[in-house]
């Protein structure tokens, strides 16, 4: 489990630690009603500057799904949808 909120626990494979260069996180979500699973795939990237990376993604043609925000039990994050419908979460690292 990598995230626990008041309502849920999130299972995943977590390699290394947030902020480390070799960090990798793969969430295991078994809930077809989740709003963050609409595209062909959903994945997240750890970025040094969340605001700048989010802006660059929008400038490159991505569509904003969730602007930069604080998330309970997680680093500050945002989400965009690429032109192919993939959701890309960006995590401040």
Domain range summary for the chain, segments of one domain joined by +? 3-92
- Under the banding of pLDDT at 50, 70 and 90, the label for residue 13 is confident
Fold of 3-92: 3.30.720
Please give the residue that has the higher pLDDT: either 33 or 52. Answer: 52
DSSP string of 27-78? EE---TT-TT--SS-EEEEEES-HHHHHHHHHHTT-EEEEEEE--TTS-SEE
Residue 31 and residue 52: Cα distance in Å, rounded? Answer: 31
Pairing of strands 87-92, 42-47: parallel
- With left for phi above 0 and alpha for psi between -120 and 50, is residue 61 left, alpha or beta? left
Higher pLDDT pick, 10 / 52 = 52
- 23-49: average pLDDT: 74
């Amino acid at each position: 489990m990598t995230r626990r909120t008041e309502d849920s626990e999130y299972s995943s494979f977590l390699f290394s630690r947030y902020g480390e260069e070799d960090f990798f996180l793969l969430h295991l979500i078994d809930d077809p009603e989740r709003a963050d699973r609409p595209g062909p795939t959903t994945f997240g990237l750890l970025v040094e500057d969340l605001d700048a990376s989010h802006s660059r993604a929008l400038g490159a043609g991505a569509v904003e799904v969730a602007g930069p925000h604080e998330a309970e039990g997680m680093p500050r994050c945002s989400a965009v949808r690429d032109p192919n419908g993939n959701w890309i979460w960006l995590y401040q690292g």
